[in-house]
Each structure stands twice: as structure tokens, then as C-alpha cells.
Structure 1
Amino acid sequence: MSDLVLYFSIKYEGNFNKIYKALLNKEKFDKEAIIKMKEQLDCQYITIFDDEYPDELKEINCPPFVLFYKGNINLLKEKKMCLVSLENNHSTKLLLDQFVKDMISKDEFILIRPDRSWLFDCKIKTIKIVDRGISFYDDIENNNTLIISEYPNFVDPPKKNLPFSYRIVSGLANKVVLAQCYDTNEEVMTIAFAIEQNKDMYLIGNEFELFEMFNPSKIKHIENYNEI
């Protein structure tokens, strides 16, 4: 079964709906082609049928059939937190900076972040969820980083498909922390999927302009890391 989903994931370039339809319709599986496909991969991978596949993703809608990755796959076994925040975050900057420092010093969580997140200079164990082919990214030479994509090779999916990757961002996280969130694509999609997935959600500070869109009763107000 692992080779089967890998074959369709590569053939249909990580497109969940096309992979699902191929499996549903029992589309023909080319055993010779999958051998060549494996040889051409420049990354590692795990499928939804493998023991290493994270339990958190098995519980969400539309879990990716295959995760292509580079880096330390063992980071998936640890507790994980998604931090959603703007880069130019002025009103809650001090609170956010202290939160990140405490997160680093206590080393309790792996940081989950989208590819376009500003949190790239933090010296913290990180799982980066990317929304295009894994081959666009260099090999990882340290044990503190993991890059994951549902897209193989150099696949560059249409922009309309990009928000779908945020189901993986929130899906992997045990907790989702928000700081000064506005009506941007990254924040809206992460929060929407987190609510759908019934994640524990927290808000640092008071800047949150999405209350009209989302139920604020699902989000706990906090001032520091110790309240998580």
C-alpha cells in the first residue's frame, strides 16, 4: 500500500483530490514506474500506512497520503506548537519576544511554521511546512530542523491550492498560539483549520481583528508562555 500511494502522489504531483480519485477508482498501478520514481527522489518520505506517520495528521480531514521530507523525522514524535504572528508586530512585540525566548529556554515544544513565516532566525527546533515541491529546498545538515511537503520533486502547484497546506500546519500542532492576527491568508487559513480540528488555541496580547470571523470563545487569552 505504501508504494501504491507513493506512485499516485508522484504521478499526480501531490494533488490530494486526484490521488484520492485514483485510489477510489482502483486505477492501474505501474510497478516498474514506481521503481524509477523512487530512484529519482532526492528526499525521504513516509506514507499514511507507515508507523512513522504522525497520529495527529491521521485525525484531520484530507490527511496527505505521503509526506516528502528532508531533515530529522524524529521531531514529529515530540510535542509541537504552531505560532501564528505578523513579522511587523509592534503592539505585542515585547510579549511575543519574551514568549519565544521562554519557548526556546524551556525546550518543551517543536515549532511548527509555514514556509513564509518570519520565525526563521529563532534558534529552536523547527518543522517547516512548505507548499511546493520538496526538491526546491536544500538538504538539512542539523538535527533541529525538518522540512515537510506533500508535493514531490519540483512541483509548483497553482496558487489556489496553497491554502490547503495549512491543514498540515495546524494538524501537526498540539497547540496553536496567535499574536496580533489580521485578515491575511496565512492567519485565516491556519486559524480556520485549527478550529475545525478542535486544537487548543491561545492569543498573546489584545490585537486580534478576526473575532467577527471566528468564535473568540474557542481562544484562550494569555500574557506569557507559562499560561500554555
Structure 2
Amino acid sequence: MKELKYSFAHITAKEYKNLGDPNETLYKKLRIAEQLDTDKILDGLNKNGISFITINDPEYPSLLKETYDPPYLLYYKGDISLLKKQSFAIVGSRKAATYTKAALKQIIPYLKDYCIISGLAYGADDIAHRIAIDNNIPTIGVLGFGHNTHYPKTTEQTRNIIEEKYLTISEFPPNSQIERWKFVSRNRLIAGIAVGTLVTEAEIKSGSLITLEMAMDENRHTFCLPGNMTSQLSIGTNLRIQEGSIPVVFPEDITTILNESKII
């Protein structure tokens, strides 16, 4: 792990406000950051192999910086350079299994020019990470808690592989515990970093559909797998296709759109 050489904030709240027309949310975050016991935090990060970047660092994802509410700090384990590579998000139901796995085995190899980003949840997230790993495609896991916590137990092995070879990130300090609202906050990072988001399967009320809506709000490409009309896991995705998300019948339905709008 590289040495932690940065100050916790590259600019004070007062300096930021004096720049003129400050973002009020970012200003408040800077005020909070100045009240932290930074020596204690940095010591804890070093002991646990965790590093961090701020919104002012060159490694900070440019697309995330453009979103409505970018986090000032990102904690991470692994290869931070992956944040400079374009990412594609894949999310879906925790109940997803056979259909999601079969579809992603066809789709993910076509996305070799991207990082596959997801939330390390059970089901579709874990399937997406695993298939990416099996195809030697970089993958980023976004945590909805601090790095010293893990949930669910079933994805711990996947996370260990990702942190060894690729990257996990979180906006929450390492000892932050599990709370429901944090998973919604995590979803905004997934949507904000990725150039596009695919939902494989989703019930009519699903956290993965929140990620899709966040991606739409940030003017990103949104894709859904069409599914059996009798399946509860396809109702959410079929409805989003009706509302304008791109149906994915072939892997090229994704890659063609991404290639046409690729950021150089």
C-alpha cells in the first residue's frame, strides 16, 4: 500500500468559501472533515491497509465528480488506477440466479474494455463480479459500509479476490457499520461512476431500480434484460424498458451504444 502522504483536506472550508459561489453541500462536508481526529483516522487506515483519495486528487473519478452529490472522500483497497478506466455497472435482484448468470456469461466478455462495477451484494452483484474475474476483466466493488465490515458473508470470498487483484471503494469511514440508508448512498456511487448501468432482474420494488433511476438522473445510458412476463423478477425490468431503458437482446445492444458515445 502506498504511504498516506496527503493531508485530510487539500483546501479548508474557509478557503473554499472564499473562492466564490461554493457548493453548499461540499462546504458542509469540508467543515465536518476539519473536525475529525485525523491522526487517529490515518493510523487506523495504515493498520488495516486502507487508503483514501479526496475529490481534489487526480485519481478521483471524473464522472462521479460531475454528479449532484459527490463524496469528498473515497476510501479504498486495491488498485486505485482502475478509477481512471471507464466503468459499466451491472446490478440486479438478490434472488437472481440462473437467468442472470446465463445472460451475463454472454454479455460480460464483450465488456472487456470496461471495469465491471457493482455493489458486492448477494445475487446479481456477486454473479457479475465473479464472471468478470473469470474473464480477467477488472471489477470494482462498492461497499455500503466501512472497509472493516462485510455483508453478506456469502460474498466475502469475492471481495477478498477483488481487493487482491482489483479494487473496492467506500465513502464511509472504515468502522462504519451496516445501516439501510447507506446502501442507497452506495447505489448513487455505482450509478455516478459508470458510463452505463444494466439491471438484469428486478422485482417491481427493488434497490437495483433505484440505481437505474440514479443513472438516468445523471444522464447515463440505462439498459435492462427483458424477461418472462410471468416472472416477478422481470416485472421491474420490463416496466423500465417500457419507460425508455434499452432492452438487451444481444451483447452488442450495449457495446454499440457505449462505443458511439465513448469518452476519449
Distance change (3 Å), C-alpha of 1:183 and 1:75? same
The corresponding residue for 2:107 is 99
Check whether the contact 2:75–2:171 (CA below 8 A) recurs between aligned residues: yes
The corresponding residue for 2:96 is 88
- Structure 1: gaps of 5 or more residues: 9-16
Counting only pairs closer than 5 Å after superposition, residues 109-124 of structure 1 correspond to structure 2 as: 109-116=114-121, 117-119=125-127, 120-122=129-131, 123=133, 124=137
CA distance in 1, matches of 2:248, 2:226: 7
Q: Given the two structures, how large is their TM-score scaled by the length of structure 1? A: 0.77
**Given the alignment of the two structures, is residue 173 of structure 1 paired with residue 178 of structure 2, yes or no?**
no
Check whether the contact 2:199–2:237 (CA below 8 A) recurs between aligned residues: no
Paired residue for 1:44, among 51, 59, 69? 51
The corresponding residue for 2:146 is 133
Query: Could you tell me how far 1:2 is from its partner in structure 2?
Result: 5.5
The corresponding residue for 2:261 is none
Q: Runs of 4+ in structure 1 displaced over 6 angstroms?
A: 5-8
Matched AA of 2:108 = V
Alignment root-mean-square deviation, CA: 3.3
Matched AA of 1:34 = T
- Structure 2: gaps of 5 or more residues: 1-5, 14-23, 151-159, 229-233, 255-264
Query: Could you tell me how far 1:94 is from its partner in structure 2?
Result: 3.6
Distance change (3 Å), C-alpha of 1:181 and 1:214? same
Check whether the contact 2:75–2:173 (CA below 8 A) recurs between aligned residues: yes
Query: Could you tell me how far 1:61 is from its partner in structure 2?
Result: 1.6
Deviation by residue 1:122-156 (Cα, 9 ceiling, x = unmatched): 2231100001111236696643x100001112111
Q: Which has the higher contact order (CA 8 A, sep 6+)?
A: 1
CA distance in 2, matches of 1:95, 1:126: 18
Check whether the contact 2:92–2:202 (CA below 8 A) recurs between aligned residues: yes
Matched AA of 2:65 = K
Deviation by residue 1:53-111 (Cα, 9 ceiling, x = unmatched): 111111112111100000011111112111123353445654333113443xxx21110
CA distance in 2, matches of 1:89, 1:141: 24
Distance change (3 Å), C-alpha of 1:224 and 1:68? same
Q: Given the two structures, how large is their TM-score scaled by the length of structure 2? A: 0.68
Check whether the contact 2:9–2:54 (CA below 8 A) recurs between aligned residues: no
The corresponding residue for 2:227 is 206
Report which of the two has the higher share of helix: 2
CA distance in 2, matches of 1:61, 1:44: 24
The corresponding residue for 1:148 is 169
CA distance in 1, matches of 2:100, 2:33: 54
